[in-house]
Structures are given as structure tokens and as C-alpha cells.
Amino acid sequence: MNFEQPAVKNPKRYTVTTALPYANGPIHIGHLAGVYVPADIYVRYLRSTNQDVVFIGGSDEHGVPITIKARELGVTPQDIVDKYHAIIKQSFADLGISFDIYSRTTAKIHHETASEFFKKLYDNGKFIEKTTEQYFDEANNQFLADRYITGECPHCHNPNAYGDQCEQCGTSLNATDLINPKSAISGNTPILKETKHWYLPLDQYEDFFKKWILEEHKEWKPNVYGQCKSWIDLGLQPRAVTRDLDWGVKVPLENAEGKVLYVWFDAPIGYISATKEFRDDWEKYWKDKETKLVHFIGKDNIVFHCIIFPAMLKAEGSYILPDNVPANEFLNLENDKISTSKNWAVWLHEYLQEFPNQQDALRYVLTAISPETKDNDFTWKDFQTRNNSELLAIFGNFVNRTVVLIDKYYEGKVPQYTDLTDLDKEVVEEIKTIPQKVATSIEHYKFREALAEMMNLARVGNKYLTETEPWKLQKTEPERVKTILNLSLQICANLAIICEPFLPFTAEKINRMLNLSAQKWAEAGRVDLVPTGHQINKAEHLFSKIEDEQIAVQMQKLEAAKK
């Protein structure tokens, strides 16, 4: 077997994907902090450095949770996915998540791509066929997916465990482990009946994974590497790629009536089908060895993106493998696990309505508390504090004071600076070095660290203005004031460049105030971004204060969810 797929050193282009959210509910802050905000920061940075990059997202619209929700509401699965795909797509756009394409797995191009992929593996003998016994509901004449079977957990004796997991003790189960199993559809006791499925023999790829991950990708995040290692150490097992269900991509074989591709098999192919939908020259983003493929996911998806999907790509033979999978841990809410079923969540579409024009406040806080190495916690009080005492009091205050003073003293025309003192030279040094620190952290997927460095430049500017007090020097040392305000304005222009990946709406506002078009990353570090004599515009507020009353409303909502 061919083991060649070293890390891509100087990529010609990037393919960046984000886990496909299930279209059976809206997006919440856990999804954002874990996957979508870090991915967007990374992609915006790559674009600013003139890289060729495609940013791929989409809704995962197959699978059992969607059929369960449809059955509960008495509608079709298509009704469910149409509703939530629209909500998810719009809320991502409103938060500034800058996908090149946001597609969906019910699209015709996806069904065709997934069918072709399966058929190629089937024709090349990459699957094994197995007949097993699975639970069957005689009243409804259908095989039951694990989630459609409930019963008593053999470990903690919770009477309402599911066929794949007990939510009370957290143990993974097989449906046949349950005591007194019942069909969630009819309430009857199901029978065991034989059914045939196709399996991907992961055990045949064990040597490949030992070399490719354990030897060649030691730079992956410890949580990712560790989870892969424990799976490989336990020994990989064949995994079914089809199941008995009527909702999904039909298995493209004769005698496969009532069978669809298992959602874990069809969903990652969605990255490929979305790229195909977006670009005619899609193959170079998936098959050229000089392309760097990066998957942004949460920790619950590590095995699928590091072992199962790579095994599928390897079996197909013509695709590149992921260069990195910077998975995050989970974000909790007010010291409790986010639960969509209990409505214990902060929903993105609701946040956008209740905090209008404050997208960057949420982006900022979710990056600052990003669960990069361990689970972290979002609290409304911390959100308020970070917005008011960091974004507003430091970043916003500095930019606003600078623009207001230039308008006041020079009618908005940029003054010329003369001699630099030692203090100014220190500030110039910070302007020159901070952008590179931000870049290095982003390239190593350390987004919290990158954000802190970006904020350091705002702190440098704020401290500089506070210490030099140009408003006190205007009458006695007018030339000195020109130097201070020119240099402060150069910091503002640099902030517009280096904050853009994190705070795109803020970057746009700064550029509008400075009367500049957006600049590329290579320009950051310069102290002549805004030329002498250039006319700037009036100041506008970058951030709004978040009041106690707004926080109280959010806490009341959570209290109501608890009850």
C-alpha cells in the first residue's frame, strides 16, 4: 500500500472545510467556538496573504435525527432540512462566516458525487459484504436505526436508553445490549432479522494509519493525536457504509432496495460535492499534492475526519489526505453542558436579533475563550465584561480618541510628524513586530494567542495616547502633538489589517473612518499607511456598551429553559 502523503511544506493552494452542521436545528455558540469562527479567522488570514483558498461549508441533511424530528412534527424530512438549512445559512452569513460556498447534502450534485464515490470503491473490491441480525419493527415493516430503539441500559438501568448510547451514564451501546428493547415508532418489541450491508475494512488500513498519523503527524494537536492513537491501539474494525433507511443517498446497486449510504460515509463527501458545485476546476483542490487540506471540526468528529474519511480517500486512490485537523474541545454554557434538547444554548440567529450590529463582540469573546486544548465555559457576565472593558474601553476608545483629535486639531487632515522620541521608537517597534506574531499564531492554529497579540497593538496605542496626553500639549508643543497623532493613526490603520480575520465588521468601520480601502497583510507593520495630508472621515463608534439589563434578559431565558 502506498504510504506517501507527507505534510505540505509550501502549498500552492488551500482547501478548508468545516464540519457540516445537522440541519435539524439552528446554530449555537458551541458550534461557533468549536468550528466556524476559528475556520473563518484562518481563511480570512489566508486571503489577506493572497493565498489561493476555497472555504467549503454546507448542511448535513441526512441521518436518523432528521427523520425522528420529522416524525415527531408530522412533516417530511425535506420540510425539516429546508427550514433549518435556510436559518443556518443566513445566520452564518450575518455573522460574517465567509464561505465561498455553503451547500447541502440533499443537492442533486451531492447525491451523484456520493453515489459515484461508493460505486468506484465497490467496483474496485474495497468493501466487504456482511449479513447481520438487526432489530426490525414488524408493525411498520422496517429495520430500526439505533436511535429508534429504546430500552433499559445494562450498566446504570436507565429505562430510556437509546440503542447507540445511554444519555444518563454516557456509555456507548449496541441496540442488542438493551434490556427489554422497544421500537420508538410503534412501541412494540422488535424482532431480530437478517440484513446485508457493505463495510469498509478499516483494519486493512491499520499499518497506513500507524505511519501516516503516529509517525508523520506528531505536530497535530495533542487531543487529536491522542484520540487517533487510542483508536489505532485498540485495533480498527470494519465499519458499515450502508444502512436500512428510506432517507439519504440511495445505494447505487441492484438488490439494494430500502438501503442508503450511512450518513457518516456520505457527509464528508459533501465537501467534495460542494467544491465541485463551486468550481469547474475543483479537482486541483482535492487531488493536487501541492494543495493543503485542512478540516475544522469539534472533538466529536475527530475519528471521522482523521481515520474514516482518510480511509475512504485512500481506498478511492486519487485524493489528497488532510494536512491538519485542528479539532477543538467543547464549549459549555454557564458551567453546564450545552443541550439543544433542553434549550440550554445561545442560538446564533437569536443573538443576532437581540444584539444588532454586535457580531464582532460575539466573534471576539468566542475566540478569546475558544476551547482549543480543553473544554471551556461561556458566561454572559464574562461576555459583558470582555466587551465593555476590552473592546470598548481599550480598542474602541483608542481609535475613537485618535480620529476625534485629528478632526478637532487639523479638520481631519493627517498631520506630518517630525522627530521621534525614544517612546515613539518603542511604539514603532511594536507596530512592526506584532503583525508577524499574529500571523505565526494563526498559522499554528493558535487563535486565542493570535487574538491576544492583535489586542496588544490596541493596548499599545491606548497606553501611548494616555501617557503622552496630546490634548494637554496642543498649546505648548504642537509639533509633538502632530507626531503623536500621526503615529496613533498608523496604529489604527495597522489594526484595520490585523483585526480583520477576527473582527471583520470592525475592520470595515476603521477603514471607512480612515477613508482607506482594505489593505493586504503584507502592508501591516508600516508606519506610513495613512499619508500626510490625507483627509479622514468623522469618528463613529466601533463597539456598543452592553448593559446589565441586556444580560439579565439572557439569564432569564436560561432560567426558563432550566424550569
Give the pLDDT confidence of 502-542 residue by residue, as tens digits. Answer: 999 999 999 999 999 999 999 999 999 999 999 999 999 99
List pLDDT tens digits, range 434-481.
Answer: 999 999 999 999 999 999 999 999 999 999 999 999 999 999 999 999
Q: Which three cell numbers stand for residue 545?
A: 456598551
pLDDT at residue number 474: 96
Q: How far is 489 from 496, CA to CA, in rounded Å?
A: 11
From start to end of 168-324, where are the E strands?
A: 179-183, 191-200, 239-240, 242-244, 259-261, 291-296
Q: Where are the alpha helices (DSSP H) in 369-413?
A: 380-386, 397-410
Is the Cβ–Cβ distance between 95 and 351 less than 8 Å?
A: no
Q: Supply the pTM of this predicted model.
A: 0.94
pLDDT score of 227 more than 80: yes
pLDDT at residue number 164: 81
Q: Dihedrals φ, ψ of 307, to 5°?
A: -125, -55
Mean pLDDT of 288-293: 97
pLDDT at residue number 3: 38
Q: How far is 199 from 413, CA to CA, in rounded Å?
A: 70
DSSP 372: S
Mean pLDDT of 358-363: 98
Mean pLDDT of the chain: 95
Closest CA to 171 of 192, 188, 193, 156: 156
Q: How far is 393 from 389, CA to CA, in rounded Å?
A: 5
Domains annotated on the chain, with CATH: 13-127+201-328 (3.40.50.620), 129-196 (2.170.220.10), 378-523 (1.10.730.10)
pLDDT score of 171 more than 80: no
Is the Cβ–Cβ distance between 340 and 294 less than 8 Å?
A: no
pLDDT at residue number 173: 80
